[in-house]
Homo-oligomer: A and B are copies of this chain.
Amino acid sequence: MTDRKEFRDLADPEDARDAIASLDLTPDAERVPLEDARGRVLAERIDAGLDVPGFDRASMDGYAVRARDTFGADETDPAVLDLAGTVHAGEEPTVAVDEGEAAEISTGAVMPPGADAVVMVERTEESEDGDAVLVRTAVAPGDHVMLAGADVAAGERALGPGTRLTPREIGLLSALGVDSVPVRAKPTVGIVSTGDELVRPGADLDSGAGQIYDVNSYAVASAVAEAGGEPELYPHAGDDYDEMEAVLRRTADECDLVLSSGSTSASAVDVIYQVIEDRGELLLHGVSVKPGKPMLVGRLDRSAYVGLPGYPVSALTIFRTFVAPAVRDAAGLPEPATATVAARLAAEERYSEGRTRMLPVGLVETGEEVVAYTVDKGSGATTSLVAADGVVEVPADTAYLAEGESVEVQLFSPDVRPPTVLGVGEDDPALARLLDDLERPRYLAVGSREGLRRLRDGVPDVAVTTTGPPDDRDVASQQLAAYEREWGLVVPAGNPEEIAGLADLVDRDLRFVNRGSDSGLRTSLDAALADLADDRAASRRDLTDAIDGFELAAKAHESPARKVATGDADAGLGLRATAEKLGLGFVPVGTETVRVLGNPDRAEKPGVAALRTALNAELDGILDDLPGFDR
């Protein structure tokens, strides 16, 4: 192994914030057309350059008059004024109003010379010959007239620097005739993803060569855009020094900030470290925060540089915590109002590593409050990205957080909201389809047994289980629905090995793929094997030891069948519905009951009500459509 940097002197998170704040990401201001200005931030104060309106303006449809000609007029004794002409909006008046005269006028039109008030049309009547108008009310000078500059006066301060441009500001700028505005430019952020194994989404993947899709580049790019920056994706850099140096320096030349991201390999980090040391300045190498320890902060040529950790949740967490505030500052934007949410911790947390910890949590609404439950212990899983809504920052000296503790959750995005309904439990295709009819549901396919455990702990709204409420009744629940599904062995199309049942797995040399011990299918399989053992007067262990692959537990309900489809297995534990979906053969073994169990404390929650409605309206149709499913 090559010489490898260790992160011995980890910086305090506050020092990391200060280091990033010391980097200047702020680009020069720019000018944008008004129609593209929404959401941008004014770089300079804007004063009114003209009066609004630019002329004395009728604010009603009616007649422009000399007010004193109407004095004393009323319903029974109208003033009779000669009609001098008409003024429409958008026209220069061609008439003047002399004593005893009136001019018909439209809202928005220029007041004709001589007139000083407008009488509403509703208080007038034209004479029969059309030459005069009867005015049935008295008006005062200025009535229904907006004087030039009365709305905005030339020279007035209209909008200050730092103003965020929303529709109303764009309206005011329009009124001032402004068609382009000086705004804070968006800092350009170049994203360099490192790691020889990374492939851009859309390209072909060679899994045999250990390739994986690049998760961080697009995710971080969209987080940059969300924070008000202008992201730019650069080509992948391999671990080679010269290649890395060329890509990093080109990025630094073109961007205000260089973010490297994507690699979990220490060797790539070593190379970057070397490039920054050689061609810039390393301010900080390693931060005392979990996850995110291997963060780099520095300068490269005239650009700022931050190295993000490789795991997706870690990369987004570090970006959100340390980098997004700097991007927002450079863009002149405030922290979004929905950046954080107050919650209570679902279960106690113990921690004693002496580093600041960014605890990924999912959120669920109880009706009265928001509960945060921890979802990822640093596994690096991509699925944690969508299972977690944000992070709770736990200071380094906090070793214990009690259940029910009030915490502030830093959301991964201001657009993140708690799901309307949180379900946990068995991975089931009927339920998966039903979720499509709900708005913003979350379902964690943790298996029947783990689902029941979580329901007992009170976190989810719903648990879905094939094992049912346990006999000791320590899980309070309300059954919302129940249905049957047929399970057995998924085999290649046509069942070429002529597998007849479980006994063949025990007695013959077949490659089998199982499910994990928390899954309901596995529980059903274990029960069936126990029966078989009874029949043979053998121990269950004797049977399972004889099955090649019994311990090979696949994650999702389709996974064993897919192993069969690719020829990597002769039989997989699965459902008839899966076998038919994938065009495979099926050897039935039994049926099991899937139960949808509601958390009794959440019966009134709107999301649970929507689930009940969907179950009533849609479940039968879904079951009809899935082979082997029935009430």
Q: Are B153 and A559 in contact (CB under 8 A)?
A: yes
Set of chain B residues within 8 Å of A104, measured between Cβ atoms: 1
Assuming A59-B380, A213-B174, A233-B35, is B110 touching A208 (CB within 8 A)? yes
Instruction: Decide if A617 is an interface residue (CB 8 Å cutoff).
Output: no
Determine the distance from Cα of A579 to Cα of B226 in the docked complex, in whole angstroms. 46
Set of chain B residues within 8 Å of A89, measured between Cβ atoms: 195-197, 210, 264-265
Segment of A64-72, A165-173, A252-260 engaged in the interface with chain B: A165-173
Determine the distance from Cα of A382 to Cα of B151 in the docked complex, in whole angstroms. 6
Instruction: Decide if A214 is an interface residue (CB 8 Å cutoff).
Output: yes
Q: Are B34 and A383 in contact (CB under 8 A)?
A: no
Question: Which of B146, B175, B562 has a CB less than 8 Å from the CB of A154?
Answer: B562
Interface residues in A166-225 (C-beta closer than 8 Å to B) = 166-180, 195-203, 205-223, 225
Determine the distance from Cα of A210 to Cα of B148 in the docked complex, in whole angstroms. 11
Question: Which of B51, B61, B87, B265 has a CB less than 8 Å from the CB of A107?
Answer: B265
Q: Are B559 and A213 in contact (CB under 8 A)?
A: no
Determine the distance from Cα of A245 to Cα of B175 in the docked complex, in whole angstroms. 27
Set of chain B residues within 8 Å of A54, measured between Cβ atoms: 205, 207, 211-212
Q: Are A413 and B166 in contact (CB under 8 A)?
A: yes
Number of A residues with CB within 8 Å of any CB on chain B:
134
Set of chain B residues within 8 Å of A558, measured between Cβ atoms: 153-156
Q: Are A106 and B267 in contact (CB under 8 A)?
A: yes
Set of chain B residues within 8 Å of A109, measured between Cβ atoms: 197, 210
Instruction: Decide if A334 is an interface residue (CB 8 Å cutoff).
Output: yes
Instruction: Decide if A395 is an interface residue (CB 8 Å cutoff).
Output: no
Set of chain B residues within 8 Å of A199, measured between Cβ atoms: 177
Determine the distance from Cα of A210 to Cα of B147 in the docked complex, in whole angstroms. 12
Determine the distance from Cα of A210 to Cα of B59 in the docked complex, in whole angstroms. 12
Q: Which of A163, A265, A443 has the most CB of B within 10 A?
A: A265
Determine the distance from Cα of A438 to Cα of B199 in the docked complex, in whole angstroms. 47
Assuming A167-B412, A316-B167, A413-B167, is B223 touching A174 (CB within 8 A)? no
Q: Are B439 and A162 in contact (CB under 8 A)?
A: yes
Instruction: Decide if A249 is an interface residue (CB 8 Å cutoff).
Output: no
Instruction: Decide if A52 is an interface residue (CB 8 Å cutoff).
Output: yes
Nearest residue, chain B, Cβ from A315: B171
Name the distance in Å between A287's Cβ and chain B's nearest Cβ: 20
Set of chain B residues within 8 Å of A212, measured between Cβ atoms: 52-54, 57, 108, 175
Instruction: Decide if A393 is an interface residue (CB 8 Å cutoff).
Output: no
Q: Are B213 and A152 in contact (CB under 8 A)?
A: no
Set of chain B residues within 8 Å of A436, measured between Cβ atoms: 45, 160-161
Q: Are B173 and A201 in contact (CB under 8 A)?
A: yes
Instruction: Decide if A19 is an interface residue (CB 8 Å cutoff).
Output: no
Besides A35-B221, A155-B559, 10 other A-B contacts (C-beta < 8 A):
A1-B121, A53-B207, A154-B559, A155-B557, A155-B578, A167-B219, A170-B218, A175-B312, A177-B203, A179-B200
